[in-house]
Structure formats: structure tokens, C-alpha cells
Amino acid sequence: MSSATARSEKRAAAAPAYTSATLAAAVNNSPYTIREGKAVIQRPPKQNGAEQGKDKAAAEGEEAAAAEDTEMSDDAAAAAGVSSGEGGPPSSIEVIEGEGQQEVFYNKVQVFNRDLSIVCIQTFIDTRSDEHADRAQAQKEKEKRRAAVKAQMAATEAAAASSGTAASAAPAESAAAAATESASADADSFPGIQILEALSATGLRSIRYFRELSGVRSIIVNDMDAEAVRSIEHNIALNGLTTAQLIPSHSDAITLMQKFRPPVVGRGLERPQVIDLDPYGTASPFLDSAVQAVDEGGLLAVTCTDKAILCGNHSEACFAKYGSMPLKGAACHELAVRIVLNSIATACHRYGRYMVPMLSMSIDFYVRVFVRVYTSPMLVKRQAAQCGMLLSCTGCQSFWPHAIGRVKVDGNSVKYSPGLLDAPLQAGCRCPQCDSSIKMGGPFWLGKLHDKSFVARALARVQKDPSLWATSGRIIGSLTVAGEELQPGEEVTPEPKMSAKAAEAYAAAQQASAAAAAPAAGEAAAPAAAPAAPAAPVLERASPILYYSLPVLFQTVNSSCPKISHVRSALRNAGYSVSQSHSHSSAIKTDAPPQVVWDVVRCALQADPPKNGQKKGTAGERLMLRKPAFAHDFTYVPGTDMSSSATGVAKFLPNPEEHWGPKAKAGKRKVEQSAEPSKRAKTNQNKRSRYRACKTFAANGSCPYGDNCKYAHVVGAKPGEDVTQRVAEMEAAAAAAKETPVPAP
């Protein structure tokens, strides 16, 4: 028995049995308890100085064997078995927080993240199991053919020899077939997967993975914080699991993942099939090690919570962390996803590997992507055509993606060349639609965001039993939109199915329109209609890597926004594909070039012109100076109404609570825990501007807002001057005057 197995059994023996009574007692006695899904986690009790010294000495004694602890031996694996995804407390979410500091990070906003991860990893396990079965079947067929060839050769040799030798050919053939069947039977069974959670905090995610996923052999639960590792070990025992199933690891995430770099055979390690990176902030420091450590065809799940940086609020920080220059605009949320994917792809390319996105989502305040990583130096070169720069207009939403490379395949000949700049720009690099300046950003990932078969399989799993996940409604909506989302290289998107109610309403509207157009009895037939304007020809399709925000489009031309299905119908009638985007409810994703999109807007404004016209010198004025090239048809096309009422699927659900967003980092003291969030927001609102001099008071000596003004009224101060110190002195003087007793007359 190995030392790792002995330590695992020792820890398992010390772990309390998982019963409802012990669980209830532990939960009731803990100052910090969280129930989520089939997992329960706690903040472990505080340690005194002697216990901390013992733990430190034990940690130093086991430091040399840390590498062995990260790998489950064959004996331990047999004892632990493979997770079935059954058992545990019912699916629920309850957070009971104690007072003081948040020593280990937990954010209930990420419940959706964890639920979605469970769905995607289970889909990956099923897919990998099918791939394993296909490889086993192919190997079985290969062995059969090899055995048949050997039998044929033996029969030929036997025919040339004596009859006694021929009699022994049949037993030899049957022995070879039996050996082939025995080897194939051993290879048929799927061995399960190993998961590495590099940044575990409380271990909640790993506990849920093992209890709710089927086909998981072991999970390495790592964190570099000693308090977090104590919490992990405590919660593993609390949930009735062993350290052979969930292997605690106290290590730097990058150092740990570097141990799984190939070759790992000589070190007695197995590369994990799934690596989950969910840091507080950016994941860019961990990508280089993760893409090397993950197994061939493995799944890499990455979360980046610094979405403000990715969306362009701090472009210099984004370039420093991800190597890309973001573009702030209406479609910045999808660009944030493409920046993360490009960063992962670039890290893969350094080591002769490439990635294939399975699901890429912009969610709340973070980006979550699931990609599979493969090894092929040849296909790495071809991904030059899937990475590139983006030109974007500063006045309107027009954009033009440009790949940094081109790949031409002609039979067995593959030619690589630099990309071409073919945007229809005017002289001086101005926008051809509104004559505004052009900005450039990137590099971005220009390929597909999702694998449609993977998304469909994940969606079917959730729809089969939505009660397994607390956020199943939002998962179904998000996966539905992702499955319908237009991807680069797709000419036609699958139309969403209309609900029965919407189909009946559409049929009734068609009949009413036909009845209104028919002449009444005794009336003359209406004159023949004038010939319709020629339909807009389908120009060269654009790459639908981004979306257009319909409210922003019409805000640019100072007009109210029409019904989104009308605009989608006009684009469909013009011969282009159109869909929603998972990151924006009022988005239009289409392969129509920018000039067609703006022609549709111009035609819509001809029927309903803006009341106040266009402001002089604006992009809207220059846009409306152009006349539409064709009269676009706004006749309703079935399937373009993608709203929840038409499709029967709620796709964009509101936040369940107020102030739904990121939380403070672990170790930071929570601010004003006793105060209501709304009260804290009002108290802290404009807290800096109160110590700036009021411009109106500085200019006129008075302010119409009086004491209600949010700026400071200080005599002699310059407009906008920082008067924090002077305000403090005035407040101190006023307080002293109140305390001074008034002398008696």
C-alpha cells in the first residue's frame, strides 16, 4: 500500500459518518453554513495557537509527499469507485453568514455558474464516454481484421504442409479470437474522469461536482490559502466523502498544474480530463499552465470576473492582462468573451495545441467559457484565420472583422498567407455610412462561440429533469439562445419554434388581413397595385461575430425604436440570416453587411420619421443624408418574433435580488453588515462630490438647491475645487459653537 493510500485511509477513518443527524447538528452549531445543491459547507471552528502550531508542523512534514497526494492510487481508486451523482441533501440554496470577516470567499450569485458547469461537465463526460466506446469498437474491429489475417496466413501455411498441421490451425484461430475478445472487454469500460479545481476556496464546487456528476473518479481540490484548505478538509468530512475521492491540495495553482505537463508517465501522474479555473478577477495568469496540464481532448472551464476591464473601461489593463485592446461599445459584452477565447487560443498555440469552444457565455459581471483542447501543430496554423482585429465606427455601430491570416486548402495543398484589409472605408479611413472616424481593437477570437451539438445535448439534459438545478429556468433560456445564435460560417440559422398560441394568433392575423383586402359585395375590384420595387439583392455576407443593439441603432438617428421583429423580418426578406445574442436581449445578430442594416433603418424612418429631426453635425444627420438603395420589405416572417411569449421559453430572466453582483474578496471586512444594501448605496452615493465646491454658488454666490445641494457651498472656493479640508474645518467650528454655552444676560 502506498503512502498516499495510507494517508487517505487515515483521513477517511477520522471523518464523521454522513447522517442526517450529524449533518443537522453540525449545521446548527456552525456560525457559517451554506447549503447549495447536494453540498453543505461550513466555516470550520477557530484554532488556538497550539493547534495552529501542530497543523503547521504536520504541513511541513507532509510537504515532501504533496505530489503523491495529488494522485489517487489504483487501490484507493478501487475503494472509492466512480461517482454516481446520487444521494445527498435535496437541491436547495441557503446562506447563513456569521459576523466578522469573510475568511473564505462565497458568492451566491455564482450558483448559476456552478449549475451551468455541472450541466456542461456532465455533457462532456457523456461525450467522452461515447468517444471512448467508438475508439474501443474501432480497436475491436482492427483486432478482428488482424486476427483474420493471421488465421488466413496460418491456414495457407497449413495447406502447404501436412494434414496434421492443418488440424492445429483451428485451435490457433480460436485462441487468437479469445485473446482479442478479452483485450476488447477490458478496453470497453469507461474509466471515468479526474477533475482539477485549481482555485477551490471552500471546496463547494468540487463537492457538488462529485455528488452531482456521474463518471467522476476523483477531484483534486486545491487552494494556496491555509485557511481555505482547512475549510476544504472540514467540508469534505462534513459531506461524508473521503480524501481519496476529493483530494485536498495546499499548493500554488500554477505550480500544481505544471506538474501535469507532459510527459507525466515517468512521474506517475495522470493528466486531468477537466480543469476548472474560477479565480477572483482575471484567469490570465493560469492559462499557460492549464492548457499544458489538461488531457488530450479535455475540457477547460474558465471564469473571468473582471468584465469591466474586458468591456473597455480600462483598455490599458486589458492589454496588460490579455494582450488585446478592447472596444467599448454596444457589443462590448460579446467582445469580452472573444478576448478571453483569444487569450486561451494564444496560450494553446505556444505548445502545439488548439482549442475548440463548446460554450462561451457573457453572464452578469463575468465571462464563462468551456473549451476542449487538442494537440495538432498543423491545425494550430489554420487557427490564424480565426483570430484577428476589428475595425469599428465611432459614430454608428458598423464593424468590419479582419483575420490576421488566410488559409487556402486545395486538395492536399494548404497555403498560408497574411490577412487582407478589405473594409470599404472612405478616404482618410472614414466610415462609409456616417463619415466618422474608425477605431481598431484586438486581437479577438473570430471563430464560433458554441458547438451546436454540445449545446443541444446539454439543453436536452436540463429539460429532462429541471428540478435537479435551482437555476434550471435560466439555464434553459441561456442554452436555448446559444443554440439559436448565428455563428460565423453559418448561412441559415435554425428558426425557433412558435408556441401554439402564437401560431394561432399569426394565422388569425393573416386571415383578417386577407378579408380586409377582399372587395365587398357589389363593389368594384380594387385597381391593380403598382409594381413593387425591386428586392434588395443579397450582397456578400458579413461575418456575424458581433451583434447590433437595436435601441442604440435608432438612438443614433434620434428616433424611437420599432418592434424588433419588424427589423428582423426586413433582414430575412432581404435574404440574410438573423438571430438573437445570448448577451443582449434586444440584440440583432445578422450576416448582413453594415450598409444593408442601415438601409433597413432608413426605410423604417421613412414610414415613421423622428419628430425632432436630426441634430446638425452628428452621425445621425450624415446617416440620413443617404437614401436607401432599395425599398426593404417589413412583412412579418414567422420565427422572427423570438420573445418569450412567442417561443414559450423565458430567455432573459431578471436578477432575483437587488444589488445582484460581485462580492468582496475573501479576507476583506464586510462594510456595514447591519445596514440595508439600499441604505448603504444611498449613503455612499456621490460621497466624493460632496467635498467639491458648487459651481453655481462660486459663480453667483447662491444656489437654488440650498442645503439640498450635493456640492459644498464654500465662500471664495473655485468651481469644482476640492474643499474637503475646508468643509471639515467648517463642520468642526459649527460643532464647537453649538457646545459653547451662551452667557446669561
pLDDT confidence band for 400 (50 / 70 / 90): very high
Q: CA-CA distance, 249 to 229, in Å (whole number)?
A: 7
pLDDT confidence band for 676 (50 / 70 / 90): low
Interstrand relation of 405-410 and 413-418 (parallel, antiparallel or unpaired): antiparallel
**In the predicted model, what is the mean pLDDT of the chain?**
78
Residue spans per domain, the chain: 491-499+537-654, 682-732
Least confident of 77-86, 449-458, 733-742: 77-86
Going by the DSSP 8-state scheme, the letter that residue 660 receives in this structure is: -
At 341-355, the pLDDT tens digits run: 999 999 999 999 999
| Ramachandran region, residue 20 (left: φ > 0; alpha: ψ -120 to 50; beta: rest) | alpha
579-588 b/e with 16+ CB inside 10 Å = b? Answer: bbbbbbbbbb
pLDDT for 32: 59
CA 661, 666, 669, 673 dihedral sign is: positive
φ/ψ (deg, to 5) at 362: -105, 115
At 266-294, the pLDDT tens digits run: 567 889 999 999 998 999 999 999 999 99
Greater confidence, 682 or 704? 704
Q: Indicate the pTM of the whole model.
A: 0.76
Q: Which residue has the cell 440595508?
A: 676
At 665-675, the pLDDT tens digits run: 655 544 444 44
Least confident of 104-113, 193-202, 395-404: 104-113
Distances (CA, A) of 712 to 235, 277, 703, 725, 736: 52, 47, 10, 11, 20
Which residues, 6+ apart, have CB-to-CB distance to 211 below 8 Å? 37, 38, 39, 83, 85, 87, 88, 239, 241
Q: Which residue has the cell 424588433?
A: 564
CB of 117 within 8 A of CB of 208?
no
For the ranges 24-28, 52-56, 195-199, the one whose mean pLDDT is highest: 195-199
Percent of the chain past pLDDT 70, that is, above it, reads 71
Q: CA-CA distance, 450 to 478, in Å (whole number)?
A: 12
For residue 438, what is its C-alpha cell? 474608425
Q: ∠ at Cα 373 (368, 375), nearest 5°?
A: 160
Q: Which of 539, 537, 538, 542 is nearest to 591 (CA)?
A: 542
* The amino acid at 283: A
Mean pLDDT of 681-710: 72
How many other C-beta atoms can be found within 10 angstroms of the C-beta atom of residue 94?
11
**Per DSSP, what are the bridge partners of residue 438?**
393
Could you tell me the fold of the domain covering 491-499+537-654? Answer: Phenylalanyl-tRNA Synthetase; Chain B, domain 1 (3.30.56)
As a dihedral over the C-alpha atoms of residue 583, residue 585, residue 587, residue 591, rounded to 10 degrees, the angle is: 70
pLDDT for 21: 42
- Is the per-residue pLDDT at 265 higher than 90? no
**Per DSSP, what are the bridge partners of residue 325?**
442
Distances (CA, A) of 663 to 105, 212, 281: 9, 26, 11
Distances (CA, A) of 129 to 170, 276, 460, 538: 36, 20, 17, 44
For residue 303, what is its C-alpha cell? 471564469
Q: CA-CA distance, 276 to 686, in Å (whole number)?
A: 39
CB of 450 within 8 A of CB of 482?
yes
Half-sphere exposure of 153 (CA within 13 A, CB side): 7
Q: CA-CA distance, 14 to 8, in Å (whole number)?
A: 10
How many other C-beta atoms can be found within 10 angstroms of the C-beta atom of residue 51?
11
Q: ∠ at Cα 598 (594, 599), nearest 5°?
A: 115
Q: CA-CA distance, 43 to 221, in Å (whole number)?
A: 16
CB of 714 within 8 A of CB of 730?
yes
What's the start-to-end Cα distance of the chain, in Å? 97
Residue 723 CB burial class (10 angstroms; 0-12, 13-18, ≥19):
buried
Q: CA-CA distance, 121 to 127, in Å (whole number)?
A: 10
Going by the DSSP 8-state scheme, the letter that residue 80 receives in this structure is: H
* The amino acid at 95: V
Q: CA-CA distance, 25 to 734, in Å (whole number)?
A: 56
Q: CA-CA distance, 202 to 105, in Å (whole number)?
A: 7
User: Which element (helix H / strand E) includes 151?
Assistant: helix 111-160
pLDDT for 178: 55
Residue 340 CB burial class (10 angstroms; 0-12, 13-18, ≥19):
buried
For residue 319, what is its C-alpha cell? 492589454
Which residues, 6+ apart, have CB-to-CB distance to 702 below 8 Å? 696
Q: CA-CA distance, 86 to 621, in Å (whole number)?
A: 63
pLDDT confidence band for 575 (50 / 70 / 90): confident
CB of 237 within 8 A of CB of 249?
no
For residue 171, what is its C-alpha cell? 485451435
pLDDT confidence band for 644 (50 / 70 / 90): confident
- Is the per-residue pLDDT at 496 higher than 70? no
For residue 693, what is its C-alpha cell? 465646491
Mean pLDDT of 327-336: 94
pLDDT confidence band for 7 (50 / 70 / 90): very low
Going by the DSSP 8-state scheme, the letter that residue 741 receives in this structure is: P
User: Which stretches does DSSP call E strand in 364-412?
Assistant: 366-375, 387-393, 399-403, 405-410
**Per DSSP, what are the bridge partners of residue 361?**
368
Distances (CA, A) of 250 to 150, 254, 440: 54, 12, 43
Mean pLDDT of 33-45: 77
Q: CA-CA distance, 42 to 104, in Å (whole number)?
A: 10
Which residues, 6+ apart, have CB-to-CB distance to 266 below 8 Å? none
For residue 405, what is its C-alpha cell? 491570416
At 576-628, the pLDDT tens digits run: 999 999 998 899 999 999 999 999 999 999 888 888 888 888 999 999 988 88
- Is the per-residue pLDDT at 334 higher than 50? yes
Q: CA-CA distance, 293 to 347, in Å (whole number)?
A: 12
For residue 35, what is its C-alpha cell? 447549503
- Is the per-residue pLDDT at 399 higher than 80? yes
Q: CA-CA distance, 299 to 464, in Å (whole number)?
A: 23
Mean pLDDT of 380-400: 93
pLDDT for 40: 82
pLDDT for 682: 54
pLDDT for 85: 64
Helices (H) and strands (E) in the chain, counts: 27, 18
Mean pLDDT of 631-657: 86
Mean pLDDT of 65-88: 48
Mean pLDDT of 552-561: 91
Mean pLDDT of 154-159: 81
Which residues, 6+ apart, have CB-to-CB distance to 148 below 8 Å? none
pLDDT confidence band for 509 (50 / 70 / 90): very low
CB of 38 within 8 A of CB of 212?
yes
pLDDT for 686: 52
Mean pLDDT of 48-64: 49
